[in-house]
Structures are given as structure tokens and as C-alpha cells.
């Protein structure tokens, strides 16, 4: 009950902070200040921070539905990453900087990086808090996207180094990205089913065609799979384990081509137009799949651990590494 | 079934066209970034289309008396293949050269042939296809746009949508209801030639999810057309449009849309030195499949050259080819995303992202996957 209230309030806050027309403006060059101020003053950015450090002390598992909602509501900034960064920093007694914070790998393209002021960055063997400036920020300049990569040929200027490992940082980022994918996949499923019931061709809704029903069934399976993957990743706690993160991101990422292909196929030409909202989700899904390690990265890592380990059976490996 | 489709080779005299068009294409794309070349047959450069016309690369299959080169479909295959392989910007003349010219040649009056074909072959006039309407997509036989007969010709009212190239085209060949009601479906449909500069025509561009405006809405408000706007026979529009779609569906452009991305990825792999293992396997998969799909498209070209109308084979190829084109960006994304510590150039990332976004349209334009599979099933005697 309490958790449901929390989710309801969170959604209300998001709808107020970033309605669709605001999201579109931010995607096309506006700054994030208006939306971010509302979000920040709501207190939700500190839900993962321990109570004694002034946060809500929620477990990652309890926060999972909220993080998915950031995807479903298309919040246009690295908010989940900031929540995680604040938790990781305060656990080590470091005061987090204000504004959006990225969880970043060296060289990798990061969604909404253009809007962030700081990043937790893996560089060589350490995780460091750095300030982002224009010399290291390389925007991708894609239509409707604020993705950028952080490029530094020599060591970046470090504000403070953390005790967590680069592996933990990447696992944390992957779990959040999986949750974001899950939220978007769920929203895309709802949108696509609704459209199939509305769009009439040959005298009846296209959703009455078996060919479309079979496609929508696959879309529903994939959306569910992505959500289960995200919840599993979050169940490992904070910070997440590498194995749980691997399973979460590989399964969520692998759902992206099916989810996007089916949603676009069912929508027909209208889904290709900018004005229609489907593309707000599918554009982000392509980038989210790539970000923080795609399917093959995590599959290779997980597979290597299994092969190098001594588990008698594959199920033993799964049970030993699964959080549930 | 389909066992008449066999590999065939390109005749040497058509193969001989290759060096010239290859050089022309290379010169044209030299300064274009990969993401622009990746637009493939959606890339627009009106001056380049004029130039192809001047140099004799358009209207290759049209008879010489109408300004064409009087050659067979293999000549066009070679030229088109070379242009698509490097992503030369062919959009302006694409529809005119591919399907409007053959349509006018087959069904048009002598006066229409003399008027339009030489100008298409010289790259002076461009066309677009007006089939889809807001409520008539897959169910094309339900079109509502109407032309009423008057003493001097026709009066046109209604709306088309998703019309590729409408912004730059001089003419639309539109599928229009010329008699009866929507309930009569295919019967009562005709094809009309609509000059887009005519009074009462409004073209409103539609922005797509990449930010480009390649298609448009076209509104007709009491547009007056002469009697000779009719192409072919009144009431035969449906059959004519269906035959037109066979041309539209079987060409190499239904296989090659992702080639620029593949080549950009290959260059990336060579640069970072990742040329064995899973990446090599994937590159092999791409090229092996391409080899077979190209052979299939050539085989259908052979049938067209022999005067046949391989409608079902064309549907098969379009489904297979567009599935291939669509899997390429997804597989390359997986490969790149699986090496998060590898440096990826901005140009490559932008190209990959553009292709991921636009790829879903490959199996929509020219008839959706579900509709094509229905046609194939009918060919199998199932419907
Ligand atoms: C990039 C692009 C360019 C285009 N250019 C042109 C152009 O130049 N000229 C032009 O006239 N049109 C053009 N189109 C429109 C194109 O022809 C239509 O998108 C296509 O015919 C499908 O129609 P629709 O989009 O209305 O989808 P719908 O017909 O609404 O279909 C939606 C979904 O329902 C499915 N469906 C519908 N009926 C059935 C059925 N009976 N059984 C099973 N499934 C079914 C479809 O397969 C699809 O998955 C273009 C489209 C795109 C995306």
C-alpha cells in the first residue's frame, strides 16, 4: 500500500516535471533546469541514499518499479543514474554534487550525457568522480537525442576517487539501463495493443488479424522478459552483483530488436513519423540497448565465468549467482 | 514451386557499363559522410539526377524512340547496383526511372509517351506515387480520393499521405476512385497523372523519426485535370497498380539498403584490428546471404528480361531482402555494444543509429510484410 502510494506520487511528479511537450523540447536542445528542479526538490533523487545520510533508504528492489517508470514516462535526463551515484557516493561518505550525474565508461556513448554536470567514470583501475566540461564531452548530434561520449586522452581531472571497482560501476549502470528498457518496453506494448484495436483496415481492427495477434503475443512476451530481467538485476541489492547485472542487461537488451520491430510493424507508416509518440520510445530503446554493454558483452562475461568456474551443472552456476 | 527461378549471369555488354557508372558514383559520394550515404535510395541530389540523365544512365530500358537506351533490365541492374553500393543520392529520379516510366510505356497513350518518357530519361522530370491515404494503407482498394468527370476532363478531391518525393516531384501517378463508391473496392479505380504544380494541390511535408522530410501529405481541392490525365483504361487502375508493384518489389534496392552500414562497420573492424572470431563470422554471414539474395534478384531480372511478370517471386524477394536489410543494423548494434571499450567514431555511431531508426520502414514501404506473405500464401494455393 505504502509502496503503491510512493509509485503513484512518483508518476504524478514525473508528469508535472516532464510532460511530453517538455520532453520533446529537451530532446531538441532545451536545458533540463525546469524539470530537474522539480525532480530534485521532490526528494526522489535520494530514495537509494541511506536514511542516516538523509535519504529514503529504499532497497534497489523496492526502487525498481520507480526506475522502470523513468523509462515508461520518458524522463529526459540521467535520473536513475543520479539516484545510484548519490547512493554510491554517500555510502563512502562523499557529498554528491548537485545536478545530473552519469555512470560512465571510458569512450562509451551515454544517453543524455549532454545534460549532466558530473560523472562517475571508470578510468584505468579506479572509479572517479569528475566534473564534465566541454573539452571531454563529445555530443553525437543525433536528431532528438542528447547522447554524448566522454573522451579523454589523458587522465581526467579527478574530484575524488571511490572504493568501488569499475566492474561494480558497470554492473550498476547495466541494471539501471535494463530497468529503463523494461519500462519502455511495457509502455510500447500498451501503445501498440491500443493502436491495433483502433486502426481499421479491411473493415475491422488490424488487431483482429491473426498475423498481428501473433506478433503482439511475442511483444508481450518480450516486455515481460525484460521486466523480469530488470527486477532480477535489482534484487541483488546495492550495488548489484556482476552476474545478476549480466543476466539482466543481456536479456533486456536482447528484447529491444523484437520489441521495436514489432511495434513499428504493427503501427505501419504512422510510426515512422516524428509527430507520433512511438519513436520517442523506440529511438531511446536502440540507444539503451547499446549503452552500458549490449547483449554480447554481458553474455561473454557471464559465459566466461561459468566456463572458468567449477560448477558441476549449469543450474548450480545459476543458483550460485542468482539473487533469487 | 518457384523452380523456374535459377541463377543467371549478367550479359557482358551490360557488365561493360560498370566501370563508367562506378567512377561517376565514386566521384559523387567522395565528400558525403557515411550517415548521408546510408540514406541509400532516399538520398536526394537533384543535380546528380540531372547528370545521370545527361550521361545516359536513366531510362535505360526505354525504347530509343522515347529517349531511352533501348536496353534490357540487366543494364539497369548494373547501374542501380553500383549506385546503391556506395549510397549515391538517387531519390529524385528513383520512382520515375523505376516504375513511372515503365507504367507510361505499357499503358500510356502515344502522346503521353512522347511527352513524358524523354524527359524522364534525361532526368528533367521527377515522379511520385500516390496510393496510400490516411484510411487506406494495406487496404488499398478502399481509397476515397475521387475524380468526377466533367466536359473538359476531371475534378479531383481528396488526400494522399506518405507520398515519398512529393516535395520534389513534378507529377504524381495517383490511384483514384473515378466511379462507384468505396464499397465497390477495386472496381472503379483509375490511375491519373496529376501535375503537382496544378492549382488546388497542396503538398505538406511530414517529418520522419530521423528528422528528415522525405514523404508528404498531398491535398487535392477541386483540382482540374485534362482528359488525358488518365493513364491506361478507366476502371483498370487496380490491375495496373498491381503490375507496377512487381517492378517496385523485386529490385536490388530491396536488398542493398544496409550496405553502406555494413561497409562502415567493416572499416571500423579493420581499424581496430578485430578481424577474427565472432565479428568475422558475422561479416561472413552478411556477405554470404548477400551473395544468394543478389542471385535471386538477378534471377527475377532474368524473368523480367524474358517478358514475364513474376509478381509472387517479387513479393518473396522483397520479404527476404528487407528482412536482411533490417537484421543488419540490429546485429551490428549488438556487435558494437558488445565491445563497450572500443573506440567508435561519431560518424559510425550516427550511421548505425540512423539505420536502426529507419530500418522498420523497409518492410512497410511498397507493401507490408504481412501483406506480402499473404500474396505468397495465395501463390502457394492456400487462399
Ligand atoms: C518510408 C515510407 C515511404 C512510403 N512511401 C509511399 C509512397 O511513396 N506512396 C504511397 O502511396 N505510400 C507510401 N508509403 C505508405 C505504405 O505504402 C504504407 O505504409 C503501407 O501500405 C502500409 O499501410 P499503413 O501504413 O497504413 O499500415 P496499415 O495498413 O494500417 O497496417 C498496420 C499493420 O497492420 C497489418 N495489416 C493490415 N492489414 C492486414 C491483414 N489483412 N492481415 C494481416 N496484417 C494486416 C500491416 O501489415 C501492418 O503490420 C510509404 C511508407 C513508408 C513507411
What value, to the nearest 5°, has the Cα angle with vertex B376 and ends B374 and B382? 75
The closest-lying atom of ligand 1 relative to the alpha carbon of residue B139 is 29
Are residues A174 and A313 located together in one domain of the fold? yes
Residues B279 and A5: their CA atoms lie apart, in Å, by 48
Q: Please say whether the beta carbons of B356 and B329 come within 8 A.
A: yes
- Confidence tier at A1 by pLDDT (50, 70, 90): very low
Pocket test for ligand 1, best of B126, B136, B138 (most atoms within 8 A of CB): B138
Mutational test site, ligand 1, from B205, B214, B357, B365, max ligand atoms within 8 Å of CB: B365
Q: Which chain A residue's Cα is nearest to B162? A: A269
Question: According to the model, what pLDDT value does residue A102 have?
Answer: 98
Kindly name the residue from B82, B248, B313, B325 that is annotated as catalytic.
B248
Contact at CB, B349 and A109, closer than 8 angstroms: yes
Q: Based on the fold, state whether residues A229 and A316 are members of the same structural domain.
A: yes
CB contact under 8 A, B206 and A300: no
Identify whether residues A8 and A127 lie together within a single domain: yes
Q: What whole-number distance in Å separates Cα of residue A157 and Cα of residue A129?
A: 9
Domain boundaries, chain B: 12-125, 129-235, 251-379
Q: Is B364–A269 a contact, with Cβ atoms under 8 angstroms apart?
A: yes
Across residues A226-242, what is the average pLDDT?
A: 96
Considering only residues 265 to 284 of chain A, which have any Cβ-Cβ distance to chain B shorter than 8 Å? Answer: 265, 268-269, 271-275, 279, 282-283
Mean pLDDT for all residues in chain B: 95
Would you say residue A110 has pLDDT above 50?
A: yes
- Domain end (from A130, A163, A196): A163
Say yes or no: A8 and A77 in one domain. Answer: yes
> Which residues of A fall within a CB distance of 8 Å from B278?
296
CA of B187 to the centre of ligand 1 (A): 21
Give me the pLDDT at residue A2, please.
59
* Cβ of residue B365 lying under 6 Å from some atom of ligand 1: yes
CATH class for the domain made up of B129-235: mainly beta
Contacts of A286 in chain B (CB under 8 A): 333, 353, 356-357
B-contacting residues in A 67-86 (Cβ below 8 Å)? none
pLDDT tens digits for A19-59? 999 999 999 999 999 999 999 999 999 999 999 999 999 99
Mutate which of A269, A273, A275 for ligand 1 pocket (most atoms within 8 A of beta carbon): A269
CATH of the domain at A195: 1.20.140.10
B248 catalytically annotated: yes
Residues A148 and A182 in one domain: no
Strands B201-206 and B171-177: unpaired
Task: Give the total number of structural domains in chain A.
Answer: 2
Indicate which of A294, A295, A300, A302 best probes the interface with B, i.e. most B CBs within 10 Å of its own CB. Answer: A294
pLDDT at B311: 82
- What are residue A76's DSSP bridge partners? none
User: Quick check: B208 and A144 CB within 8 A?
Assistant: no
Whether A266 is in the pocket of ligand 1, judged by its Cβ within 6 Å, is yes
The reply to whether ligand 1 has any atom less than 6 angstroms from the CB of B132 is: yes
Query: Does ligand 1 lie within 6 Å of residue B116's CB atom?
Result: no
pLDDT tens-digit series, residues B78-111: 999 999 999 999 999 999 999 999 999 999 999 9
Q: Are B277 and B228 contacting, i.e. CB atoms less than 8 angstroms apart?
A: no
Q: Are residues A205 and A310 located together in one domain of the fold?
A: yes
pLDDT score for A3: 64
H or E stretch covering B224: strand B215-226
Listed in sequence order, the residues at least 6 apart from B262 whose beta carbon sits closer than 8 Å to its beta carbon are: B283, B286, B328, B332
Q: Are residues A111 and A218 in the same domain?
A: no
- Give the per-residue pLDDT at B383: 83
> Of A163, A194, A219, which closes a domain?
A163
pLDDT (average), residues A153-171? 92
Q: Which cell is B317 given?
A: 524477394
State which of A146, A163, A180 marks the end of a domain. A163
Pair (A87, A192) in one structural domain: no
Given this model, what pLDDT does residue B1 score? 67
Instruction: Report which ligand 1 atom has the smallest distance to the Cα of A210.
Output: 43
Nearest CA in chain B to A292: B340
How many Å lie between the alpha carbon of A165 and the closest alpha carbon of chain B? 16
Q: What is the pLDDT of residues B213-271, one digit of tens each?
A: 999 999 999 999 999 999 999 999 999 998 877 767 778 889 999 999 999 999 999 99
Instruction: List average pLDDT for each run of 10 residues in chain B, which is 383 residues long.
Output: 84 97 97 96 96 97 97 95 97 96 96 98 98 97 96 97 98 95 88 98 98 97 97 95 78 93 98 96 97 94 85 90 97 95 94 98 95 94 90
pLDDT of amino acid B306: 87
Assigned fold of B12-125: Butyryl-Coa Dehydrogenase, subunit A; domain 1 (1.10.540)
Residue A216 structural domain: 168-321
Tell which CATH classification among 2.60.200.20, 3.30.70.1450, 2.40.110.10, 1.20.140.10 matches the domain B251-379: 1.20.140.10
Chain A hits for B360, CB-CB cut-off 8 Å, are: 260-261, 264-265, 271-272, 282
- Cβ contact (<8 Å) for B207 and A273? yes
Query: With contacts defined as CB-CB under 8 Å, which chain B residues touch A294?
Result: 333-334, 336-338, 340
Q: What is the pLDDT of residues A115-149, one digit of tens each?
A: 999 999 998 899 999 999 989 999 999 999 999 99
Beta carbons within 8 Å of B184's beta carbon, 6+ residues apart: none
pLDDT single digits (tens) A49-69: 999 999 999 999 999 999 999
Residues A158, A183, single domain; the answer is no
Q: What is the mean pLDDT of residues A180-184?
A: 98
- The whole-chain average pLDDT of chain A stands at 96
Within 8 A by CB and 6+ apart from B98, the residues are B247, B248, B251
Nearest CA in chain B to A276: B209
Per-residue pLDDT band for A78 (boundaries 50, 70, 90) equals very high
Amino acid at each position: 500500500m505504502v509502496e503503491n502510494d510512493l509509485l503513484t506520487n512518483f508518476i504524478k511528479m514525473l508528469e508535472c516535471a516532464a510532460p511530453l511537450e517538455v520532453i520533446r523540447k529537451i530532446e531538441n536542445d532545451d536545458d533540463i533546469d525546469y524539470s530537474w528542479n522539480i525532480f530534485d526538490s521532490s526528494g526522489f533523487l535520494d530514495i537509494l541514499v541511506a536514511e542516516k545520510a538523509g535519504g529514503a533508504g529504499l532497497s534497489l528492489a523496492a526502487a525498481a518499479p520507480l526506475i522502470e517508470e523513468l523509462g515508461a514516462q520518458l524522463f529526459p535526463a540521467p535520473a536513475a543514474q543520479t539516484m545510484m551515484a548519490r547512493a554510491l557516493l554517500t555510502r563512502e561518505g562523499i557529498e554528491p554534487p548537485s545536478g545530473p550525474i552519469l555512470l560512465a565508461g571510458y569512450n562509451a556513448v551515454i544517453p543524455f550525457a549532454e545534460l549532466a554536470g558530473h560523472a562517475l567514470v571508470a578510468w584505468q583501475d579506479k572509479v572517479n568522480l569528475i566534473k564534465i566540461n566541454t573539452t571531454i564531452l563529445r555530443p553525437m548530434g543525433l536528431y532528438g537525442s542528447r547522447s554524448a561520449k566522454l573522451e579523454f586522452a589523458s587522465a581526467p581531472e579527478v574530484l575524488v576517487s571511490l572504493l568501488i571497482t569499475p566492474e561494480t560501476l558497470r554492473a550498476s549502470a547495466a541494471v539501471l539501463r535494463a530497468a529503463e528498457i523494461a519500462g519502455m518496453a511495457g509502455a510500447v506494448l500498451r501503445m501498440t495493443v491500443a493502436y491495433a484495436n483502433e486502426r481499421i483496415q479491411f473493415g475491422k481492427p488490424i488487431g483482429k488479424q491473426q498475423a498481428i495477434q501473433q506478433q503482439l503475443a511475442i511483444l508481450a512476451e518480450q516486455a515481460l522478459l525484460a521486466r523480469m530481467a530488470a527486477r532480477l538485476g535489482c534484487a541483488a541489492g546495492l550495488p548489484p552483483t556482476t552476474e545478476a547485472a549480466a543476466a539482466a542487461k543481456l536479456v533486456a537488451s536482447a528484447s529491444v530488436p523484437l520489441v521495436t520491430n514489432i511495434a513499428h510493424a504493427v503501427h505501419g507508416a504512422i510510426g515512422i513519423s516524428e509527430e507520433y509518440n512511438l519513436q520517442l520510445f523506440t529511438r531511446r530503446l536502440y540507444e539503451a540497448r547499446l549503452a552500458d554493454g549490449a547483449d554480447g558483452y554481458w553474455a561473454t562475461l557471464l559465459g566466461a565465468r561459468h566456463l572458468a568456474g567449477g560448477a558441476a551443472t549449469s543450474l548450480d552456476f545459476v543458483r550460485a549467482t542468482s539473487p533469487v | 514451386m518457384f523452380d523456374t527461378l535459377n541463377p543467371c549471369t549478367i550479359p557482358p555488354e551490360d557488365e561493360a557499363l560498370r566501370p563508367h557508372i562506378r567512377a561517376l558514383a565514386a566521384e559523387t559520394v567522395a565528400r558525403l559522410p557515411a550517415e548521408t550515404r546510408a540514406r541509400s535510395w532516399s538520398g536526394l541530389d537533384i543535380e546528380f539526377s540531372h547528370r545521370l540523365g545527361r550521361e545516359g544512365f536513366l531510362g535505360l530500358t526505354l525504347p530509343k524512340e522515347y529517349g531511352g537506351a533501348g536496353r534490357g533490365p540487366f543494364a539497369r541492374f548494373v547501374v542501380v547496383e553500383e549506385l546503391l553500393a556506395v549510397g549515391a543520392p538517387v531519390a529524385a529520379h528513383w520512382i520515375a526511372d523505376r516504375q513511372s516510366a515503365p507504367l507510361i510505356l505499357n499503358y500510356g497513350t502515344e502522346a503521353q509517351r512522347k511527352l513524358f518518357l524523354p524527359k524522364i530519361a534525361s532526368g528533367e522530370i521527377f515522379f511520385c506515387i500516390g496510393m496510400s491515404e490516411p484510411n487506406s494503407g494495406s487496404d488499398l482498394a478502399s481509397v476515397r480520393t475521387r475524380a468526377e468527370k466533367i466536359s473538359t476532363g476531371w475534378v479531383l478531391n481528396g488526400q494522399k499521405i506518405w507520398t515519398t518525393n512529393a516535395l520534389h516531384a513534378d507529377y504524381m501517378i495517383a490511384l483514384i476512385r473515378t466511379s462507384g463508391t468505396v464499397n465497390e473496392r477495386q472496381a472503379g479505380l483509375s490511375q491519373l497523372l496529376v501535375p503537382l504544380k496544378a492549382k488546388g494541390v497542396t503538398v505538406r511535408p511530414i517529418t520522419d523519426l530521423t528528422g528528415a522530410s522525405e514523404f508528404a501529405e498531398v491535398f487535392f481541392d477541386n483540382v482540374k485535370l485534362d482528359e488525358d490525365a488518365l493513364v491506361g483504361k478507366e476502371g483498370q487502375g487496380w490491375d495496373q497498380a498491381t503490375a507496377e508493384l512487381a517492378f517496385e518489389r523485386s529490385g536490388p534496392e530491396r536488398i542493398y539498403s544496409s550496405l553502406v552500414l555494413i561497409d562502415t562497420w567493416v572499416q571500423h573492424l579493420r581499424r581496430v584490428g578485430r578481424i577474427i572470431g565472432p565479428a568475422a563470422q558475422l561479416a561472413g554471414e552478411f556477405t554470404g546471404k548477400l551473395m544468394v539474395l543478389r542471385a535471386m534478384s538477378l534471377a527475377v531480372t532474368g524473368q523480367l528480361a524474358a517478358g514475364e511478370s513474376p509478381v509472387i517471386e517479387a513479393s518473396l524477394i522483397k520479404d527476404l531482402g528487407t528482412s536482411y536489410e533490417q537484421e543488419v543494423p540490429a546485429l551490428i548494434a549488438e556487435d558494437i555494444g558488445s565491445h563497450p571499450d572500443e573506440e567508435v567514431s561519431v560518424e559510425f555511431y550516427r550511421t548505425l543509429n540512423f539505420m536502426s531508426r529507419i530500418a522498420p520502414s523497409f518492410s512497410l514501404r511498397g507493401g507490408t510484410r504481412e501483406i506480402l506473405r499473404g500474396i505468397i500464401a495465395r501463390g502457394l494455393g492456400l487462399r
